[in-house]
Structures are given as C-alpha cells and as structure tokens.
C-alpha cells in the first residue's frame, strides 16, 4: 500500500491521539527524560510536508507512543482504558498499511492482564514502520519490513507460550513426546552449553495456529522450522502427521507400562544370556508353533522371534526353573509381570512389531541392560511361552 508519510503522521497524532490542533498553550506530552512539545509534529508537517519523518521525528514519535501505551510509567500514568484504545487504533493502522494479520495483539479490554505485553509488541511493530519511513515521501510495504514484523510476532508467540498458543506445560509435553528431538530430522533441540541450556526449537501447526491438538502440533528444530514456516506441501504434511502418529503411539505405550516393575531375577537372566556360551545352548527339536500362530503374517518379526526361541528357549526355561526352585516359585511372578506388561498395551493401536519393540525397550530400560538383543530374546521366550500375543 502506498500512503503518504505526511498522512501517516497525521493519523498518528491528530486522529489517534486527538491532537486536533497543536495549540502551544496546551500541556506538553510527557515522555522519557523530558516533555515533548505538542507543536513539534505540527512543525514537521508544515516545514517538511513531503518527508516529515527524520531521525528526530521517529525518535520522538516512539517516545510519545511508549508513554501513551503505558510502557513508560509517567508520573501520572495515562489510564488503562486510553492505552487500550490507542493501542488498538495503532494496530488497525498497522494492519491497513502492512496487510498483515496482527489481530492476536489486539487489546481486549482494560482488565486484560496481557494488554501491556501486547502493547510492547505493537510498539515494536510501529517502530519498524516508522524506521521504514525515514526521509521517505511514501510508505513502502517491503519484504524487509514484513520479515521484521513477522519476527516481532514470533517473539510475542514465544513470550506467551511458543507460537502464541501453547502453555509452558504443553511445550514440555510436546518436548517429552518427541524425546527432545526435531520430529522432522531428529536433531536434538535442547543442548547444554558451557554456561546455559540452549533451546533451539519452534512449533509448526500443520492446520493453523488455532488448532493445538496433538496431531497438529509439530516440534521442529530451527532449520526445519525456517524451511516449513511459510508453507508445507501435502507430501511433507502427511509425512509429519505419520511421524506424529507414531510418537503418540509410543507415548501412550510409555504411559501404560511406566508403573510396571521388573522382577530383579529377570536382570539375572539377561546377564546370563549376555554371557551364555554355545555349549550351554540346547536348541528346540521342534517348530515353535506358538510363535507362528500368534504372529501370523508379519514374516520378518516371526522369523526373528522363531530364531531366538529355537536357540534360547530351553536355556531360559532352565534358568527360570532354577529361580523357581531357589526362590519360592519366583518364576511364576516373572511370567505375571511380563503378562501384565503385554496386557497394558494389547488394546493400543499398532502392529505386533510396534508392540514387540515397545516391550523390548521397556525391558531394556527397566533392567538397565546395554544389550537389546538379550531383551529381544527374553520377550521372544514369553511369546512362545504364551504370556505375549494371542493366537490368531
């Protein structure tokens, strides 16, 4: 939009602040460090009708609006009602000039506790517009100015909860869900530096900022956010939604199984598996039917589990038998815990491979084991031993 600088100055003084005339007998405007004569801007309008905004005029206009917005505390502060009205009038002017949607900065009423915070960002937008008018006859809605205003909005969003819609609790939940990694590329978004913790992330709302549902809100690193913030292709959106679905699936599993405690004896089994020697292993001499009947058409998972069962089933059975004899049938309690683990996630959506992976990860974390393979073997044993998965 091409509007004369002189018209913008007139709107900011006569129309918004009601300075219908600049009578020198009227009181001065109180601003930081000194008073501002009401004649100053009328003098600029008269002496420089083409380019009224020089450095001094911009500086004084900024000081004037900082005080009228209540950002600068005057000796006798302007009323909150007037600050709200002035801020919204300026916001309307800024939207008209820049063609940007700035409605989220609108001051609701005099009782809105976030008003002053919003006015700080309205003032920042006004300042960038005024700087773009320095020694100019017309306002130019440039890409540089647009980017500066969008950055102001980004900063406002972060000040009230990332992207303007999330509370601190929601931000924390999304960070936990994504395990502190960018959903798109896997980069760590929280890093420890020598002096501080760096939070290097933003949130992308796939279907608009007004929708903060879990499947719409995506944690991204700064680089991925910069690539996607101006638009997401359908293919990219579907990929991100699929990743979010998997994260939600994993998160529900973690919530379900978090309270299940592992029997300490299972740790002994895992340690025994890690140190097992070939001559201790007596393979099964029959096809593990339970595995085939339970896993069905998931061929890759079935082959992995059958391989573990054939090689280790007898070995683990003997270990459990020894534990049961020594510790008052503790082997039964171990089987119950594994069964409880499975039942806690059996009704959750997802494939058998997904559930198998969750159980293996749970066992690995609970036992503090460094061997995923040993944990896979234990879960495979209980698939064959009827504690995990139902027959199809």
Secondary structure letter of residue 260 according to DSSP = P
pLDDT tens digit string along 300-317?
A: 788 888 888 888 788 778
Tell whether the model's pLDDT for residue 123 goes beyond 90: yes
Nearest to 338 by CA among 383, 288, 292: 383
Kindly calculate the radius of gyration of the chain based on its CA atoms and give it in whole angstroms. Answer: 33
Give me the pLDDT at residue 163, please. Answer: 47
pLDDT tens digit string along 50-60?
A: 999 999 999 99
Residues 281, 287, 289, 291: what is their CA dihedral angle, to the nearest 10 degrees? 50
| DSSP string computed for 313-351 | HHHHHHHHHHHHHHTTSHHHHHHHHHHHHHHHHHTSSS-
Task: Count the alpha carbons within 13 Å of 161 in the hemisphere toward its beta carbon.
Answer: 15
- What is the Cα–Cα distance from 72 to 56, expressed in whole angstroms? 19
Average pLDDT for 148-169: 69
Nearest to 353 by CA among 386, 382, 376: 376
Tell whether the model's pLDDT for residue 78 goes beyond 90: no
Residue 32, φ and ψ in degrees, nearest 5: -60, 130
Give me the pLDDT at residue 284, please. Answer: 47
Tell whether the model's pLDDT for residue 328 goes beyond 80: no
Across 71-80, 149-158, 173-182, 235-244, which has the greatest mean pLDDT? 235-244
Give me the pLDDT at residue 285, please. Answer: 45
Give me the pLDDT at residue 30, please. Answer: 75
Residue 178, φ and ψ in degrees, nearest 5: -90, 5
Higher pLDDT, 161 or 52: 52
Average pLDDT for 173-193: 83
Average pLDDT for 319-341: 73
Tell whether the model's pLDDT for residue 286 goes beyond 60: no
Give me the pLDDT at residue 383, please. Answer: 78
Tell whether the model's pLDDT for residue 61 goes beyond 80: yes
pLDDT tens digit string along 229-250?
A: 878 899 999 999 989 888 877 7
Contact status, residue 146 vs residue 98, Cβ threshold 8 Å: yes
Kindly report the number of other CB atoms within 10 A of residue 210's CB atom: 8
Mean pLDDT of the chain: 77
Q: Contacts for 100-105 with beta carbons within 8 Å, 24 or more apart?
A: 100/146, 100/149, 100/150, 102/149, 102/153, 104/153, 104/156, 104/164, 105/153, 105/156
């Amino acid at each position: 939009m091409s509007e004369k600088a002189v018209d913008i100055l007139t709107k900011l003084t006569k129309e918004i602040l009601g300075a219908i005339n600049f009578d020198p007998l009227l009181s001065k405007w109180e601003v930081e460090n000194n008073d501002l004569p009401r004649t100053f801007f009328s003098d600029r309008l008269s002496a420089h009708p083409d380019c009224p905004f020089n450095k001094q005029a911009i500086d004084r206009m900024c000081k004037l609006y900082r005080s009228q917005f209540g950002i600068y505390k005057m000796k006798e502060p302007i009323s909150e009602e007037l600050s709200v009205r002035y801020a919204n009038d300026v916001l309307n002017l800024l939207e008209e000039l820049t063609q940007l949607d700035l409605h989220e900065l609108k001051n609701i009423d005099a009782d809105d506790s976030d008003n002053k915070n919003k006015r700080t960002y309205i003032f920042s937008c006004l300042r960038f517009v005024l700087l773009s008018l320095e020694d100019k006859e017309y306002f130019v809605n440039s890409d540089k100015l647009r980017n500066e205003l969008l950055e102001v909005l980004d900063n406002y969003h972060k000040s009230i909860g990332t992207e303007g819609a999330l509370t601190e609790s929601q931000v924390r939940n999304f960070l936990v869900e994504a395990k502190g990694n960018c959903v798109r590329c896997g980069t760590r978004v929280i890093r420890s530096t020598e002096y501080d913790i760096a939070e290097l992330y933003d949130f992308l709302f796939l279907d608009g900022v007004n929708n903060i549902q879990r499947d719409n809100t995506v944690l991204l690193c700064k680089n991925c956010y910069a690539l996607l913030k101006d638009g997401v292709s359908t293919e990219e959106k579907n990929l991100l939604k699929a990743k979010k679905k998997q994260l939600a699936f994993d998160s529900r599993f973690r919530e379900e199984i978090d309270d299940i405690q592992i029997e300490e004896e299972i740790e002994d089994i895992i340690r025994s598996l890690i140190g097992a020697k070939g001559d201790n292993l007596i393979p099964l001499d029959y096809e593990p039917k339970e595995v085939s009947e339970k896993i069905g058409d998931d061929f890759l998972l079935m082959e992995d589990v059958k391989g573990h069962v054939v090689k280790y089933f007898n070995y683990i059975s003997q270990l459990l038998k020894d534990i049961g004899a020594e510790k008052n049938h503790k082997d039964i309690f171990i089987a119950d815990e594994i069964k409880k683990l499975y039942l806690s996630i059996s009704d959750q959506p997802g494939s058998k491979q997904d559930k198998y992976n969750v159980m293996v990860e749970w066992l690995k974390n609970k036992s503090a084991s460094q061997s995923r393979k040993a944990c896979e073997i234990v879960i495979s044993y209980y698939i064959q031993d009827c504690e995990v998965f139902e027959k199809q």
